[in-house]
Amino acid sequence: MKFAAFTAAALLAATNAQAFELGTTGISLGLETTAEYNIDAENMTLVTTPKLAYNAYGMFNLTVGTDLDIYDDEFVFGDVAPTLDFEASTHIRENVKLYLETGYDLEAEDMSDVVVGATFAF
């Protein structure tokens, strides 16, 4: 019964969360919610990830987001300060993306590693 109620609440939250553009400003807001039940560990989790993105000149993407833990076998929202994740990216070809990413842990008040990379998709 606990699993069914948790799944229903998670699906309701996930279906109400959707990304939208703020006019023609290039700014968009999004929200992704993930509900999981680990059968082997008998552990239920609910994590939501809000994101704010800005597309500059149709070429560069700047994104900030964070994972907010809501439930981990008990209600845990607000117990730990989140980590803000930052990314700047651009596509140099349709299938090649360059990116720079880092993060800032609000709990430890510490910046994570700065990573520069490229992805290729086909």
Q: Give the pTM.
A: 0.73
Spatial distance between the Cα atoms of 99 and 120, rounded to a whole number of angstroms? 12
Q: Provide the strand spans (E) within the chain.
A: 20-21, 27-38, 43-56, 60-66, 68-72, 83-93, 96-105, 110-111, 115-120
Spatial distance between the Cα atoms of 45 and 68, rounded to a whole number of angstroms? 11
pLDDT values of the chain reduced to their tens digit, one per residue, 122 residues: 455 555 555 555 554 455 678 777 889 999 999 999 999 999 999 999 999 999 988 889 999 999 999 999 899 998 989 999 999 999 999 899 999 999 999 999 999 999 999 999 98
What is the Cα 69 distance to its own chain's centre? Answer: 11
Spatial distance between the Cα atoms of 82 and 51, rounded to a whole number of angstroms? 13
Domain locations along the chain: 2-120
